[in-house]
Structure 1
Amino acid sequence: MSSLASQLSPDEMKLLGKLEEQNRLLEKDSKSLYSVNGILQSPSSPINLSFEEDTWDQVVKEWEDWSKNKVGQLKELIRRGIPAHLRAHLWQLLCDAQNVADRQRYSQLLKTSFPSETLIRRDMTRILPQHKLFQSLDSNSQEALFNVLKAYSALDREIGYCQGSVFIVGMLITQMSEEEAFCVFVRLMKDFQMRELYRSTMAELGCCIYQFDSMIQEQLPDLHSHFQTQGFHTSMFSSTWFLHILLSSLSVAAAPRIFDIFMCEGLEIVFRVGLAMLYLKQAELIKFDVEGMMQGLYSENKLLKQRLGMLEKRCSEKLVSQLKTELETTRVNASKSYNTLKEMQAKILQTEGNSTGPDEDSVEYLQKELISCRLREAEALTGLKELKLHIKDLDEKWQQVHCGGQQKGGSVQNILQVELLSAQLKETHSKAALIESRHRLMQLQTENELHSNQLKRIEAHVNSQREHLQELTSQTNIYTTNFKRADSF
């Protein structure tokens, strides 16, 4: 920085000091957007690109609310700079170009012949090559510029074609299609005082110059006195500033930024920037006569470009540093997400491969089921034991009766009693076998229920792990997208 500062002129150092002072004032201003709900960071803090992009997307989606209820915040956003990819759309929203009644007439207006066509061609040939702002225009863009100027001249025959409109329409053509540029230019002429500025009477232009001269007298009294002494009138340099919206005096980078603010705040930006330019050149201009002041103001364009280039370089260095930090953070997050995803995939595969394994979360439930099964088993065993005792008693009675019947000669009554006991004994054996079968069936059903419940819990756990895997996959995709976006910068 010390080597860079040694290369700057005193005038450029003043510009840097003035800008830093303004930044500090903005940060301290309680009404500034930087202190309202934390919606934006201050200019001296690192730029949160993704947050600002989300803010601008919200502005576009909720334009009616922002344009009516959040005007102050919208102005602060625009002063910080409209993103290049949203500039064309925002300009149309700012001037309500979508509702231009003459949009459908554009193609018909191009077919109309107009006397100023030759003058337009001549001015374009003279103006465009001399300004870097328009050197990027190819033949198609230049033809689009001519079409817009011609169409408006045919639409508004009272005003017709004005030389200063080349700069404004040229700026629009660099950002949007010719039909969109035509609609925006129609709005600028009708609603932004431009039509009155371009009138042949120049009454509105005279009012602006008079107001600007009064501001110079109030804000820069020494410079104004020098102008008066030298007979140097403000109109000698400021008329083109108003007619061109300063576009003829700004660099390629600064021109769209100033035009952003003009689309939001109107001609007020011309007064503010014009005063700033005179303030920076005040010490030098006071030393010159009329000719020297004209040359000094003419060379202001070159000096301003140098200062803006230096500031843009500083901002780009901060931006690159911020992008590197975001890129490193994104890479770390993507790596963590990838490792977590791999771990979850391995865990799910292990769970699916070991579906009969115990479920730690269901131990308490299994213990309760086991106790219940053992109680039922104990009851069944008790009943079986009693039945076996009953069988034993019947067997003993049958033996007694059978032996006694043989000794007594086998009377009919004894024979029947033996057969009855035999039948009861067989029935009891059958009941015992039935009870054992039911007990075995109950054991099998209990085991089946336990295995079914365990299988359901395992399936639920697997589904839960799959959902978690899907969430991690989605997070990985988000990190990958952010990584690619940051890497593209």
Structure 2
Amino acid sequence: MTQPSAQQLYVSDMTDDEIELLKKLEEANRRIEYDTKSPVNTTQNPLANLRSPESYHEQLRQDSVSSDLSNVTTDSDANLENEWIIWNKIINNWSIYIKKKPQWIKDMIRANVPIHFRPLVWQCLAKVNTSTAREKYIDYMKMTSSCEKIIRRDISRTYPEHEFFKEKHGIGQERLFNVIKAYSLFDREVGYCQGIGFIVGLLLMHMPEEEAFAVLVSIMQDFSMRDMYKPDMFCLCLCMYQLECMIQEFLPDLYRHFQTENFNTSMYASSWFLTLFTTQFPLNIVSHVMDLFLSEGIEIIFRIAIALLEIHQNELMVLSMEDMLKVCIIY
């Protein structure tokens, strides 16, 4: 079976600009993954880059030929139907595939997850089936959080143009409030930070409250996102330092320009990490970023950040600090 590319899947749901951006993000993702000098890769997994891109794709082609999927046709006209068949098999046999063919699953996720399977894929990646968070959620609904007032204040600022969340005290805003409140009770050290709302909102666009809460707990606990929101913000500062090192390595001209303009990394990139880009991209791409984050972890946020800066490098190089800040905020 030949694996479809990201731009071949569900392009009817994306604009040409979104498809082109996905292509560029994936190209940068691949390049950084295989660069042995990447600060992210070398500090977290020094063995991750021993394979060349060529050997990686050769192995991927071998992995993608699975005996129980060998009778799936590869005609381009049947591509959509094939994807549904494949993803249905993956979901129904998740524990087997993720154990025996993790690289193939990773690449399938990179190619894009069909929207109808996305809620289940996110829950599988977050290991919701082994979590007790859903049961706890019911109890949290009966409790009062000290953060309720500030959560209420910020609700209307979360996806204000989205139909599901725009109505004051509507079903979307109430579900958003419930899940955020529940987490503030679950993790009293972190409590509530505004960036959490955008992550919760994205989850609620795809699944009910209980499942959204369980995935959120996994994102915060298992993927260490809660460390970003701690009062001392040490982890966020560390990420800013790592990203700055990557910019110096991969985009040296842009790094020097940033230094000349006193354009600090935290000025533009903090929200990228705190919200997983949910405030920067169209929802189609935001959803795919969440696919990648749950599959590959925080490294993907670094790679997307570098890809964005690379795409806009020529534009940024002629801007002052004030103008660059405006540009980076709207990415």
Query: Given the two structures, how large is their TM-score scaled by the length of structure 1?
Result: 0.54
Q: CA deviation at 1:27?
A: 9.1
Name structure 2 gaps, 5 residues minimum: 1-16, 32-52
Equivalents in 1 of 2:29, 2:181: separation in Å?
43
Which residue number in structure 2 is paired with residue 75 of structure 1?
106
| Superposition pairs of residues 14-413 of structure 1, within 5 angstroms | 18=24, 30-31=57-58, 33-34=60-61, 36-38=63-65, 48-130=79-161, 139-300=170-331
Q: CA deviation at 1:130?
A: 5.0
8 Å CA contact retained: 2:280, 2:330: no
C-alpha RMSD of matched pairs (Å) = 3.2
**Cα deviation digits, residues 137-194 of structure 1 (max 9, x gap):** 9921221111010011112111101111001110110001001111111111110111
Matching residue's letter, 1:63:
W
Give the 3 Å change call, closer, same or farther, for CA 37–127 of structure 1 in structure 2. Answer: closer
Give the 3 Å change call, closer, same or farther, for CA 81–162 of structure 1 in structure 2. Answer: same
Equivalents in 1 of 2:227, 2:27: separation in Å?
36
Equivalents in 1 of 2:95, 2:244: separation in Å?
37
Equivalents in 2 of 1:158, 1:23: separation in Å?
34
Number of corresponding residues: 288
8 Å CA contact retained: 2:167, 2:173: no
Larger Rg belongs to: 1
Give the 3 Å change call, closer, same or farther, for CA 198–13 of structure 1 in structure 2. Answer: closer
Give the 3 Å change call, closer, same or farther, for CA 134–285 of structure 1 in structure 2. Answer: farther
Q: CA deviation at 1:286?
A: 0.9
Name structure 1 gaps, 5 residues minimum: 1-10, 301-489
Matching residue's letter, 1:233:
N
- The structure with higher relative contact order (CA 8 Å, sep 6+) is 2
Equivalents in 1 of 2:236, 2:21: separation in Å?
29
Equivalents in 1 of 2:310, 2:78: separation in Å?
30
8 Å CA contact retained: 1:148, 1:178: yes
Equivalents in 2 of 1:170, 1:17: separation in Å?
26
Query: Given the two structures, how large is their TM-score scaled by the length of structure 2?
Result: 0.78
Give the 3 Å change call, closer, same or farther, for CA 24–225 of structure 1 in structure 2. Answer: closer
Equivalents in 2 of 1:33, 1:24: separation in Å?
14
Secondary structure of the equivalent of 1:231? coil
Identity of aligned residues (%): 41
Higher helix share: 1
